[in-house]
Structure 1
């Protein structure tokens, strides 16, 4: 506790001699006490479970209706490819750096979809969107090398100097289509059989 040595008027508050304050900063700027900390209780609202469920179901029905009627507009997606995430939409060309096996002309399906959305809604995966809900198809249009990069190393006073030039392999993909093919919140009854051979 600190005591004031004089009379101080700051922001309409008057502190008299001998009045105790908790901090020397508050003795000079008493408005800091109310500026950063508030004793006002946080208002909480008790949500009715039935009302919440009705709102939730109405939102899902609205999304399913937009998708079935084709009124969702331009769709975008965030996909995970070769250890990186890309935000893509139809017609985009994106580059994957480093070695990646597919050859030019290959049509591939990007299955790891983290998020898909349109102008009115966004479906977020946990961590991936439900399997079979979204179809993302792309074509490998080019396999090339990046521009020449320089790696230079030197140790002072040791007659050691090395310079290396290298290029990184790049694969360019064009997104052919992104479409929502299933219904939201209607997962298949049986999962895990897609990769099994009978």
Structure 2
């Protein structure tokens, strides 16, 4: 520390005696007016950083990229052996499923054993190299998921224990929750990508 002060004090005394000299040239010779506030190199203000492309050129490029992506996904979808998974919304919960899975829906649910279902609330569909994400649901009539109710049963016995200390209060309740076992038969694409159905106003309305 003493050696640093010995080196810096003579320079400060020299600057105080000669106020016309710039402080930056003696102590910080690398700092100039251009890069005083920033270490980044200053570009010529007349040359912009990015060349603004025409809107029509951007739209054409976006269409080409979009068509290539759709083409690759359709190739993967057409392959029957390609495993497909989906995320569906059933009875207030989300389930990640594949063909052959069995999901358990807890609580009261109207379908009976043997009923065949079609799960419509599909939030995500994907494979090994692609995924389609909905906002919040994916395109209507694009994917069809068929399922079958195989069993209606009750869960194992659960215990609900309540106690209030120093109040001589203690309760024990036993209960079982109804459960529905659903088998996922298959997940298949039935529509075309990037081709949603037309939405038209109904001709008649019922109140």
Aligned with 1:133 (options 142, 151, 154):
142
Residue 55 of structure 1 corresponds to which residue in structure 2? 65
Is 1:152 aligned to residue 161 of structure 2? yes
1:118 to partner: Cα distance: 1.4
For 2:193 and 2:120, locate their aligned partners in 1 and report how far apart those are by CA, in whole Å.
17
Q: Does 1:121 align with 2:150?
A: no
TM-score (norm 2): 0.68
In the alignment, which residue of structure 2 is the partner of 1:177? 186
Within a 5 Å distance, the mapping from 1:1-198 to structure 2 comes to 49=58, 50-67=60-77, 69-70=78-79, 73-190=82-199
Q: CA-to-partner distance for each residue in 1:74-104, whole Å, 9 max, x for gaps?
A: 1111000000000000000110111111001
Cα 1:160/1:45, change in 2 over 3 Å: farther
Separation in 2, partners of 1:143, 1:40: 69
**Do 1:72 and 1:119's aligned partners in 2 also have CA atoms closer than 8 Å?**
no
Deviation at 1:44, TM superposition (A): 8.5
Structure 1: runs of 5+ lacking an equivalent:
1-5, 8-15, 17-38
Structure 2: gaps spanning 5 or more residues: 3-7, 9-38, 42-48
Whether the aligned pair in 2 keeps the contact of 1:75 and 1:89 (CA below 8 Å) is yes
Does structure 2 retain, via aligned residues, the 8 Å contact 1:66–1:72? no
CA distance in 1, matches of 2:154, 2:182: 14
TM-score, normalised with respect to structure 1: 0.71
Secondary structure of residue in 2 paired with 1:66? helix
Higher strand share: 1
In 1, are the aligned partners of 2:106 and 2:178 still within 8 Å (CA)? Answer: yes
Change (3 A) 1:65 1:162: same
2:76·2:82 contact (CA, 8 Å) conserved in 1? no
- Give the drift of 1:155: 1.3
Distance 1:174 1:107 in 2: 10
Note the C-alpha offset of 1:64: 2.3
